[in-house]
Amino acid sequence: MKKMYLVAVFLLIGIATTQAQTQPDTIAIEEVLVVSQQNLKGTDIDLKSIQIESPHDVGAIFRNQSGFGIIKKGNYGTEPILRGFKYSQLNVQFDGGVKSANACPNRMDPAISQISPEDIEKIEIVKGPYDMRYQSFGGLINIVSKRPVYHPNNPVDTKIDLGYQSNGNNYYGNINSLYAGKKFDFLLNAGYKDYGSYKSGNGTVIPSSFSRWDYTLKTGWNFSAKQRLQLTFRQGKASDVLYAGLPMDADFDKSTIGSLDYALSDVSKVVRNIKIKLYTSLVDHQMSTRRRPSWKMVEAVSPLKAQVYGGRTEFKLATGSRNTLYAGADFKEIAKQGNRNRKVIINPCTGVTLPSPMNVVDKIWQNSKRDNIGLFAENRLEVSKKVSWTAGLRADRTSYQINDPADDFKAQYNNNIQPEAKILPSVSSRLNWYINRDWSLQWAIAIAQRAPDLSEVFINHLSIGTDAYEYLGNPGLKAETNHQSDVRIEYNSDNLKVYGDAFYSYLTNYISARLDTSIHKKFMACNPPYGTKVFTNIDKAFMTGFEAGAEVKFLNNFTYSLSAAYTYAQNSTLNEPLPEIPPFTVNSFIAFKNKKVQTRIHGRFAADQNRVSKAFAESTTPGFSVFDWDFSYSPAKAVSINASVTNIFNVNYVEHLSRAYKNSGAETGSLYYEPGRSFHIGLRVTL
C-alpha cells in the first residue's frame, strides 16, 4: 500500500511539472455527475436550498428531500437513509471521491457530520446502485464544497453569517473568504456553533446540546487552462455532545481531512482528461457515560480512532464521435482502534459497593482494518439525438485484518477470525430516451455488491443497534448483493415539472443480526435483555417503492411544489418487515421570490409507520404534520436578513427513524421527540 502511495505522488509531481499551454480556466474536480446522469437519478440539493433551511448539521439537509429520512441519535451527527438503504449501503463522499469513516461504533460521528453545511456548494445524489465509477450500492451522495471561481472584476469576496435560534438558545457564526485569480485561488471557511438542549412540543427538555468549530482551507494552482492542482485541508471539533438516543455521550470528536487533486484536460483527441486524487481522514473520538446516572455505578469511557487513506485515478476517453469511456482505479484503507474502559464501582447486579473499584477493558474495534482496491469502466453512448445508453462494470477486491483480537472473540470463533478476501463484481445499465422537448423516460438496472464493514465483522459486544442488545461481529459474513431496477418518467417545461420514479430492489445475503441466547452479554449481564445479537446474512429480502412529484411556477414570482415517497421493505426469510424504513411521506411548499424578498411555507406530512421489525424491537410511530416558514430580505446588495419559524404549531411529534432513549434517566421517557416551535434570525454581510 505504501508503494502505491509513492507511485501516485511521483506521478502527480511528474505531470504537474509538464509545460503550461494556454490561459487558465475552470477545471471541474469536485463534481461527479454529467447531465444525462443527473436527469436519470439526480436529486441535486443546491446552495440556495441549503441557505434557506439554515441546517445546523449536514444530515438534517435531507429531512425534506423526497425519498430520504434521517437517522437521529442526537441533535448532532444525524445521517440520511435513502429509501431503506443506510450506513455503508450509501456511498457518502466529499468532492468527487474523498472518504471518511466514523470512529464511534454507534455512529455518533458519521462521515457526513465531518463537513459544515456552510462549506457546501451543492449535493449530488444518485439513487440506486447505478454508478460504477464510485462504488454505489444503494445510492451515491457526493457533497461538493465551495471553490473559488475566477471573476475578473471581483477576485476577492468575503461573507459573514451570524444567527440565533430560540429553541435551545442556539448561536452560530461563519465566515467565508476567498481570492480567485487567474493562476492562483484560495478559500477559507470557518464557523462556530453553540447549541443547547431543545424543548419538544409539550415542553419536555430533550438532552441535545453540543458545540462545534471547524475550518476549511482550499487552494488551487492553474498551471494552464488544461492543468489544475488543488489542495484541501479541513478540520473540526465537536465537544460535549449529548445523544439522547444512545447509551453514551461524546466528550469530543475531532476530524482532520486532507486531499490533493490534479486534473489535466485535452491531453489528446482520445484522452479528454485525467484526474488523480489522494486523500486521508483522521478521526479522534471519545465517548463516555460521565453525564449519565449510571456513571455512579460504572464509569465507562471509550477513546476511539479511525483512519482512512485512499486515492483514485480516472481517464475520460473519447472512443468515438458519440462514445465516451470513463476508466480508472481506486483504493481505500479504513483502520479503527479503541477500547471501552470500565471502572466498576457498584456491582450492577447486587447494588453492593465493591471494596475497591474493578477495572475492565473491552476491546471494541480490536485494531482492525479493511482494504479495498477497485477497477471500473463506464461507457456512455449517444445512440441517437434522443437516446443515450450508459453501461458500467466494476470489480473490487476487499480484504480484512485484525491485529489485537480479544480472547473471547477468538474463542467464540475457534480462532477462525480472519475473513477471506472477497472479489466483488458489479454491473449496471442505464437507458435515457428523450421522447420530445418536454418528456423523457429513463430505465436503469444493476447488480452491485457490498462487502461487510468493520463493525459487522469485528465489533465485540457493544450496543450499536436499534434495540438494547449487545452486538457481535461475524468474520464469516458474505457480501450482500443488490439487484435493482428503476423506471423514471419526467415532464419538464418552462413552468411545470412532473416526475415519477418506481424502483424494485431484490437483496440476497442481506446483512442483518440474529439473537443468540447462548452468548452472554458483557455489560450488566444480569439485566435483560439476555443474549447477544450476532451479525448474519439473510438469504432474501426486498425493497420496492416510489417517489413522485410536481412543481409549477406561476404569476412570475410564485412556485408550488408537491412530492411523495414510499418504501415497502420485507425480510423474506423471516417474513417480517425490515427495520428502519421511513414511512410514507409528503413534502409540499409554496414560495415567492423577487429581487429582494424570498419567502416560503413548507409542510411535511408523515403517515403512521406500523410496518416494524419485531426482531429489532421497533416501535410503531404515529403520523404527524409539521409546518415551517422562512423569509429572506436583501435591503442592499451586500446585506441579507433571514428569519424563520420551524414547527409553527408546536407539534409534539416523533420521527420513526429517531432512536429511543437509553440510559438517560427515568424522566426522559422512551421516545425521542423532535424540537417544538423555534424562531430563527440570521444576518449575512458581504464585504
The residue-averaged pLDDT of 128-143 equals 94
Q: What is the pLDDT of residue 32?
A: 67
Q: What is the pLDDT of residue 663?
A: 43
The residue-averaged pLDDT of 659-682 equals 73
Q: Omega of the bond prior to 579 within 30 degrees of 0, cis?
A: no
Interval 376-411: pLDDT, tens: 999 999 999 999 999 999 999 999 999 999 999 999
Rounded to 5, what percent of the chain is helix, strand, coil?
10, 55, 35
- C-alpha pair distances (Å), 391 with each of 312, 428, 443: 20, 6, 12
Q: How many CB atoms lie within 10 A of CB 57?
A: 23
The answer to whether 148 touches 65, Cβ cutoff 8 Å, is: no
State the residue for C-alpha cell 502505491.
Answer: 4
Q: Three cell numbers at 477?
A: 459474513
Residues in the chain: 687
The answer to whether 84 touches 200, Cβ cutoff 8 Å, is: no
Q: What is the pLDDT of residue 459?
A: 97
Residue 486 exposed, middle or buried by CB count within 10 Å (0-12, 13-18, 19+): buried
Q: What is the pLDDT of residue 21?
A: 33
Domain 2-686 has CATH 3.40.50.300: no
Task: Give the percent of the chain with pLDDT over 70.
Answer: 92
Q: What is the pLDDT of residue 17?
A: 33
CA distance 654 to 583: 12
Q: What is the pLDDT of residue 86?
A: 96
Question: Angle at the Cα of 584 (from 578 to 589), degrees rounded to 5?
Answer: 145
Q: Omega of the bond prior to 529 within 30 degrees of 0, cis?
A: yes
Q: What is the pLDDT of residue 236?
A: 97
CA distance 299 to 287: 11
Find, among 252, 238, 315, the residue nearest to 287 by Cα: 252
State the residue for C-alpha cell 492562483.
Answer: 184
Find, among 388, 325, 392, the residue nearest to 140 by Cα: 392
Find, among 52, 50, 43, the residue nearest to 592 by Cα: 52
Q: What is the pLDDT of residue 28?
A: 65
The answer to whether 3 touches 308, Cβ cutoff 8 Å, is: no
CA distance 284 to 92: 19
Over 70: is that where the pLDDT of 673 sits?
A: yes
The answer to whether 663 touches 645, Cβ cutoff 8 Å, is: no
Interval 606-621: pLDDT, tens: 999 999 999 998 889 9
Interval 259-290: pLDDT, tens: 999 999 999 999 999 999 999 999 999 999 99
The residue-averaged pLDDT of 21-34 equals 53
The answer to whether 469 touches 531, Cβ cutoff 8 Å, is: yes
Q: Three cell numbers at 395?
A: 470489480
Over 70: is that where the pLDDT of 18 sits?
A: no
Interval 165-185: pLDDT, tens: 999 999 999 999 999 999 999
The answer to whether 233 touches 217, Cβ cutoff 8 Å, is: yes
The winner for highest mean pLDDT among 468-472, 582-586, 595-599 is 582-586
DSSP 284-327: EEEEESTTSGGGGTEEEEEEEEEEEEEEEEEEEEEEETTEEEEE
What are the φ/ψ torsions at residue 74 (nearest 5 degrees)? -155, 180
Q: What is the pLDDT of residue 33?
A: 62
Q: Three cell numbers at 489?
A: 418518467
Interval 54-74: pLDDT, tens: 788 899 999 999 999 999 999
The residue-averaged pLDDT of 617-641 equals 94
Calculate the average pLDDT of the chain.
90
Q: What is the pLDDT of residue 670?
A: 67
The answer to whether 468 touches 527, Cβ cutoff 8 Å, is: no
CA 469, 606, 199, 670 torsion-angle sign: negative
The residue-averaged pLDDT of 86-105 equals 96
In Å, how far from its chain's centre is CA 480? 20
- For β-strands 558-571 and 585-593, DSSP reports them as antiparallel
The residue-averaged pLDDT of 191-203 equals 96
Over 80: is that where the pLDDT of 565 sits?
A: yes
Q: Give this prediction's pTM.
A: 0.92
Q: What is the pLDDT of residue 525?
A: 78
Q: What is the pLDDT of residue 528?
A: 84
